[in-house]
């Protein structure tokens, strides 16, 4: 089932049209496409020279989880973090310093992380961890290899070889996958009752399974998917009609939709679209 989900859904960021030396997204190979949304980072090593400049960016909930490496070639150092699933936005900031650096990351679909991890996901919501806690082999087998590569293409090549060997399909839970399939075809407009009937499990059991596999409750994840689908409509359509979206996504009224969107995005739909287009 996990192999089919990515064909129904691809989440986007707050600036989905951005592409350049400081940020680029590259799709994975065909075999990894069901599990990896994209690889992302700097397209090549960046030499930064402005010590006091701060770069800020809005990071919105994208229903994914990321392993991120920050490589400092000048000092021959590499840092890492595992970013669990988020249901809040935050500001990402970085200070430029006079060194040669790069960023490289793997963006996993939330439902696929468990197939690569050593631990379950029950404590990852809105949290950052040392990668080694959840992915011991990732840290120790990939860090030195990444430090010795100069382009994102080279880093992707070595990472994909490792990931293809790492997949543990025995950790896939079919009840969770069936529920997510129902969420996706409903574009997040589905009740817990409908989900439990479709997956043939009790509400309590589905709650427990989702916490283990994804780190959220089924209700939280459904709401995140609905928000992501709504955001894609807002930013990708030339004309967006709020009242049509109220009906499409099952909101009570226009105020409910606008408040829900702002709670995730920290901006109104108009402000969010302007920010996304300005960052193009």
Q: 176: closest CA among 96, 104, 122, 103?
A: 122
**Three-state DSSP state, 151:** strand
Q: What is the pTM of this model?
A: 0.93
Query: Is 53 a residue whose pLDDT tops 60?
Result: no
Do 158 and 184 belong to one domain? no
Burial (CB < 10 A; 0-12, 13-18, 19+), residue 74, is: middle
| 108-144 confidence digits (pLDDT tens) | 999 999 999 999 999 999 999 999 999 998 888 888 8
Give the DSSP letter of residue 26: E
| 147-161 confidence digits (pLDDT tens) | 888 889 999 999 999
Q: Examine the fold and report which residue of 148, 168, 188 is the final residue of a domain before the chain moves on.
A: 168
- Contact present, 227 and 260 (Cβ < 8 Å): yes
Which domain, by its residues, includes 107?
2-168
Do 47 and 132 belong to one domain? yes
- Contact present, 53 and 182 (Cβ < 8 Å): no
Do 128 and 254 belong to one domain? no
Query: Is 30 a residue whose pLDDT tops 80?
Result: yes
C-alpha radius of gyration, the chain, whole number: 19
Q: Examine the fold and report which residue of 168, 202, 232 is the final residue of a domain before the chain moves on.
A: 168
| 63-80 confidence digits (pLDDT tens) | 999 999 988 888 888 889
Q: What is the mean pLDDT of the chain?
A: 91
Which tops the pLDDT comparison, 242 or 19?
242
Q: How many domains does the chain have?
A: 2
Do 149 and 249 belong to one domain? no
Do 84 and 211 belong to one domain? no
| 170-217 confidence digits (pLDDT tens) | 999 999 999 999 999 999 999 999 999 999 999 999 999 999 999 999
For the chain, what percent of residues have pLDDT higher than 70? 94
Do 134 and 250 belong to one domain? no
Do 13 and 82 belong to one domain? yes
Do 34 and 134 belong to one domain? yes
């Amino acid at each position: 089932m996990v192999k089919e989900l990515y064909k129904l859904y691809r989440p986007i960021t707050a600036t989905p049209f951005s592409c350049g030396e400081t940020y680029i997204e590259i799709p994975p190979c065909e075999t990894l496409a069901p599990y990896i949304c994209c690889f992302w980072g700097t397209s090549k090593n960046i030499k930064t020279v402005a010590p006091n400049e701060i770069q800020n960016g809005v990071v919105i909930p994208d229903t994914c989880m990321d392993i991120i490496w920050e490589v400092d070639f000048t000092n021959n150092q590499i840092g890492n973090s595992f970013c669990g699933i988020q249901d809040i936005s935050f500001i990402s900031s970085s200070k430029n310093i006079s060194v040669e650096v790069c960023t490289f990351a793997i963006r996993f679909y939330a439902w696929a992380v468990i197939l690569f991890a050593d631990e379950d996901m029950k404590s990852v919501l809105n949290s950052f961890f040392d990668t080694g806690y959840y992915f011991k082999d990732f840290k120790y087998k990939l860090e030195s290899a990444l430090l010795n590569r100069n382009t994102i293409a080279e880093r992707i090549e070595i990472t994909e070889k490792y990931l293809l060997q790492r997949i543990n399909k025995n950790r896939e839970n079919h009840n969770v996958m069936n529920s997510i399939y129902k969420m996706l075809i409903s574009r997040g407009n589905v009740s817990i009752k409908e989900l439990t009937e479709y997956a043939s499990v009790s509400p309590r059991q589905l709650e427990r399974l989702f916490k283990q596999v994804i780190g959220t409750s089924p209700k939280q994840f459904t709401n995140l998917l609905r928000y992501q689908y709504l955001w894609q409509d807002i930013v990708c359509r030339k004309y967006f009609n709020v009242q049509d979206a109220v009906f499409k996504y099952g909101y009570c009224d226009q105020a409910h939709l606008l408040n829900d969107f702002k709670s995730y995005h920290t901006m109104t739909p108009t402000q969010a679209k302007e920010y996304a287009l300005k960052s193009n």
